[in-house]
Chain A
């Protein structure tokens, strides 16, 4: 039995998340991945922005930084560049990382800085009561799209890949062993890694869309299971067939020069930074 307690600030539990929320599942997945990586807790900085997912660092016994809405990657970039020997992980919801934090997201991808971003994508602003986010499916009813969302949504993985991230994977809060593996690979990857964890928020999203996702939080999780297809299987499917599917797997994995290493080379070229 895996002992989570050594990674948690046990006195801070229970967590704030609702029944049926995937955040706790992803938290445990992250802990298992860190344990597998064998990292010293003192050398990990876990950074978040604002939102339900961003309350996660409070529960974990690393160095933790709960920043302002959208800005986790900006803070994380400063930490990693100032002290590259730290392992820097960012946890951030879809609204946090892709709407208000969208600029920082694409530039962290472009720099290929050695940070692992876990994007908790439940397609909704949960903490504020269920407003539509940049990843809410078109047509879904939310607190601010009472007649159905008229906007298209981001494909997080494609955005990350297009912006220059060198490791991109997508898992779900249903497919837990796979998610463990993607997060672990992301942690091990030298460069900017984006792991999208597709999740569900029944409390603020599912309840308004029962016809689509089912009547309960469990049904919404099953919806995720039924709509997830592996990247290998997706290769043989048409665009129409993939319309409402969640394509899972390692979607992009390349080696490119990492930002802080490049900067260290610059320092070394001057003799390692003599005073």
Chain B
């Protein structure tokens, strides 16, 4: 590679640049700390590259606008934080059932309610999975570095376009605002997936026809004159109450994702093979946990870190494999035990040690190490 390009930038900017790399042509957003840098970049970038930026009147309108834009064929994104993410929940479900690709970035902050707007937290791990009503698929990615804010945003668009479903990126105030040096990938270096269209976007009379466990191949608005609705619908896209069809489709919008986990699963296992003290952590808490692993290994403790990069669907088989060999599962997180509930589901015998911080301060290695020092290891 001739002249690799390096930049010293913050996570939010890396996320926005990753979106641009992936071909994002429409951004609709509403200002909210600590995510606004993403919108600010987009307001400058889009008009200079033939794309569109709009500041909507609230977060509900923001996600509505990107669903509309996506239906015309544009890759579309919004960015927000906890309170705005709460407002977006209804239309997240709309994008799930209508199978519209969108990317939603939630740079997490303290909560509930207005909480701590400028402080880090990991308050939305479960909201990302269960926030909208009804059974629905969820793909959620949690980057833990500025570089991943770039590369994982590209992957988020790929998954959204391929599976025709919303993909959520959970940043947090630390990952969003800290600066690191990253190499900007060359065009073509990272895979960029574009949505499939029927017969080169030809006329399609059954736009929602699909194979079992597969995404639909919906044409964009244009000569197919499709009907899109948030009601349960049949192959034609029109409402139906036929129990057979409703059941099949409700199951398919989830099974299309859960049957192709190999495309979605992504995790990092740091010294997990022989780990007796296994950390389960994501995002900025995982950085602290990785440091704790290194310190503990220096003391001869067999410690390891399991870090889901795709948090939902949770990489349960891989986690369970390492968890079965461990004496302790330590779950450091900046909430009161959201990831811990996951650890509990996939480990039967191992003792689970929660480390929770909800005071708005970063969860550092010292806090983790002092908690671990109390264990009988």
Contacts and interface: CB of A to CB of B under 8 A. Distances in A.
Interface in B92-112: 94
Contacts of B299: none
A45 B69 CA distance: 12
A41 B72 contact: no
A274 interface: yes
A106 B223 CA distance: 31
How extensive is the interface on chain B, given as a class?
35 or more
Given A42-B223, A66-B229, A68-B91, A78 B49 contact: no
A104 interface: yes
Contact of B221 (A45, A104, A106): A45
B76 interface: yes
Nearest to A269: B47
A65 interface: yes
A45 B58 CA distance: 23
How extensive is the interface on chain A, given as a class?
35 or more
A168 B154 CA distance: 44
A275 interface: yes
A13 interface: no
Interface stretch (B60-68, B116-124, B269-277, B320-328): B60-68
B184 to A, nearest CB: 16
A159 to B, nearest CB: 15
A79 B71 contact: yes
B65 A275 contact: no
B239 A81 contact: no
B230 A68 contact: yes
A148 to B, nearest CB: 33
Contacts of B58: 103
Contacts of A273: 47-51
Contacts of A86: 72, 221
Main secondary structure of the interface of B (DSSP, over half): mixed
Interface in A221-275: 263, 266-267, 270, 272-275
Contacts, number: 133
B361 interface: no
Nearest to B66: A78
Contact of B64 (A66, A74, A263): A74
Contact of B69 (A12, A42, A66, A81): A81
A110 to B, nearest CB: 9
B227 A64 contact: yes
Contact of B61 (A45, A103, A274): A103
Contacts of B225: 41-42, 61-64
Contact of A74 (B47, B49, B61, B227): B61
A80 to B, nearest CB: 8
Nearest to B230: A68
B238 A58 contact: yes
Contacts of B363: none
A135 interface: no
21 contacts: A42-B225, A58-B239, A63-B225, A63-B226, A66-B227, A67-B67, A68-B230, A71-B61, A71-B91, A74-B65, A76-B68, A77-B65, A78-B28, A79-B69, A79-B221, A81-B54, A82-B25, A83-B221, A266-B47, A267-B50, A275-B49
Interface of B: 25-26, 28, 47-52, 54, 56-58, 60-74, 76, 90-91, 94, 221-231, 238-239
* Top-8 shortest CB links A-B: A273-B50, A78-B68, A74-B64, A78-B65, A82-B69, A75-B68, A66-B229, A74-B61
